[in-house]
């Protein structure tokens, strides 16, 4: 291991249990991984880029290249939803000061708020709840009351679809949750397809907000989750109820949908259909991306190289079953360790994107886990006995699946430690119960809410 790598210790702002994680197994390798993950987190903060986007100068409001004469602006509102939007709203509050009229955002329960003028609803995620609905109503009210003399700034990030839902009256929140559970957890439908279905279940989805804001000027500021290139056909904002039905049927879930949802989709009431291209074209809207997965990956790479380790971004967007991805990337790490190909050691393999955990119909209801924990645990089965490979995987928002941890770690000693602690790793993977296994191994990564959301960061370190 290089001298720089050995000197990898440092302060941790995000990772709260770094001392415990680096107290066992491949200690030096874990210290390296933790430092790289920590810096990746820091690089994913949307606040600095949002601050760079907006300025007030000589009585003018500058948002990107758009200039607004404040003497001609009556009200400025900030609304939105998502796991990263509080940091973005905070930036607008700090720049606009008293020029900000107010607003409302929905963020995840468990966070705290330090906003002064923008109201906050703490809502359910990954499953919506009554708070998601109540906050969505408030957001819609503000959007609809805006006039041509107003500016509405919508801040959005991953998680918004669950955090702010407003289904048509005939679909209850209970039926909405059943639908989410069926499609996401049972069938494992990828987000880019699932969102087409969910946009038809919420009166805030799929461009509807554009129409509510009209005729005000609409500024859309977002952190962008980057999906695999082959999914581009699924992000068309002009999808229809028929498209949603086709996706549900593709995954053989139509017959199990709540009747209220099936009736809504089959009826295809025009008043609940998404806005057309022609309707959207009349809205003044500007879109600004202030954060993507790329910032996090590049931050991790830069930190690795600062430590004398070759940082290799293998892929910005990886989407597959978490277990399969863990085993595959761990096998590549083995190839590097044993045959010094295709990269020389020491190196760090860095990937982003969002993996999938398909629970299936036979899934047990008392198990817990997440895609990053499952990735880390599955990796451990392929690097057993190695004293050079360490794995770390985190969700950028700080919560991996329906758990209180951000992700997990493993190394070449994980399987031996599991045997000593009577932890059946293979059964845990089979049951998707990675949280319990990693908790007993003291290998869950805990951060709490991070205030950002740009998918996941996975790092595999192979020492020399």
Domains 3-44+296-462 and 47-292 share a fold: no
Which residue ranges make up each domain of the chain?
3-44+296-462, 47-292
Query: What would the pLDDT profile of 242-265 be if each residue is shown by its tens digit?
Result: 999 999 999 999 999 999 999 999
pLDDT at 10: 57
The CATH code of domain 3-44+296-462 reads 3.40.1480.10
Query: What would the pLDDT profile of 125-170 be if each residue is shown by its tens digit?
Result: 989 999 999 999 999 999 999 999 999 999 999 889 999 999 999 9
Identify any residues that bridge with 392 across adjacent strands, giving them in sequence order.
Answer: 409, 459
How much is the pTM? 0.86
The CATH code of domain 47-292 reads 3.40.50.10180
pLDDT at 2: 44
pLDDT at 373: 98
pLDDT at 362: 56
pLDDT at 360: 76
- Low-confidence stretches of the chain (pLDDT < 50) are 1-3, 5-9
């Amino acid at each position: 291991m290089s001298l720089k790598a050995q000197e990898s210790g440092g302060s941790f702002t995000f990772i709260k249990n770094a001392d415990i994680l680096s107290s066992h197994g491949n200690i030096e390798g874990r210290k390296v991984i933790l430092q790289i993950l920590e810096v990746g987190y820091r690089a994913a903060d949307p606040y600095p880029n949002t601050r760079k986007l907006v300025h007030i100068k000589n009585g003018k409001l500058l948002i990107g290249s758009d200039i607004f004469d404040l003497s001609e602006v009556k009200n400025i509102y900030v609304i939105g939803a998502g796991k990263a939007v509080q940091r973005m709203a905070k930036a607008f509050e700090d720049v606009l000061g008293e020029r900000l009229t107010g607003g409302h955002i929905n963020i995840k329960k468990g966070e705290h708020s330090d906003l002064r003028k923008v109201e906050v609803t703490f809502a359910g995620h990954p499953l919506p709840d009554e708070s998601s609905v109540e906050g969505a109503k408030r957001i819609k009210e503000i959007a609809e009351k805006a006039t041509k003399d107003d500016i509405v700034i919508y801040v959005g990030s991953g998680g918004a679809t669950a955090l702010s839902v407003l289904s048509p009256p005939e679909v209850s929140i209970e039926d909405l949750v059943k639908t989410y559970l069926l499609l996401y957890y049972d069938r494992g439908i990828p987000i880019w397809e699932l969102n087409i279905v969910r946009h038809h279940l919420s009166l805030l989805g799929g461009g509807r907000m554009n129409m509510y804001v009209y005729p005000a000027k609409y500024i859309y500021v977002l952190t962008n989750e980057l999906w695999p290139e082959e999914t581009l056909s699924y992000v068309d904002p002009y999808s229809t109820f028929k498209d949603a039905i086709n996706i549900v049927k593709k995954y053989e879930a139509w017959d199990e949908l709540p009747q209220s949802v099936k009736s809504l989709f089959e009826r295809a009431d025009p008043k609940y259909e998404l806005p057309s291209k022609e309707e959207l074209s009349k809205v003044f809207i500007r879109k600004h991306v202030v954060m993507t997965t790329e910032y996090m990956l590049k931050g991790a790479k830069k930190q690795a190289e600062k430590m004398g380790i070759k940082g290799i971004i293998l892929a910005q967007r990886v989407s597959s079953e978490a277990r399969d991805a863990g085993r595959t990337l761990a096998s590549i790490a083995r190839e590097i360790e044993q045959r010094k190909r295709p990269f020389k050691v020491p190196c760090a393999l860095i990937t982003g994107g969002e993996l999938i955990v398909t629970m299936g119909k036979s899934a047990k209801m008392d198990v817990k886990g997440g895609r990053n924990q499952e990735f880390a645990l599955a990796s451990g089965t392929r690097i057993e006995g190695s004293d050079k490979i360490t794995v770390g995987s985190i969700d950028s928002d700080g919560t991996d699946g329906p758990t209180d941890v951000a992700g997990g770690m493993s190394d070449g000693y994980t399987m031996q430690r599991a045997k000593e602690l009577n932890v059946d790793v293979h059964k845990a993977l089979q049951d998707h119960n990675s949280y319990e296994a990693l908790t007993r191994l003291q290998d869950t990564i805990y951060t709490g809410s991070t205030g950002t959301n740009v998918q996941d960061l996975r790092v595999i370190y192979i020492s020399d």
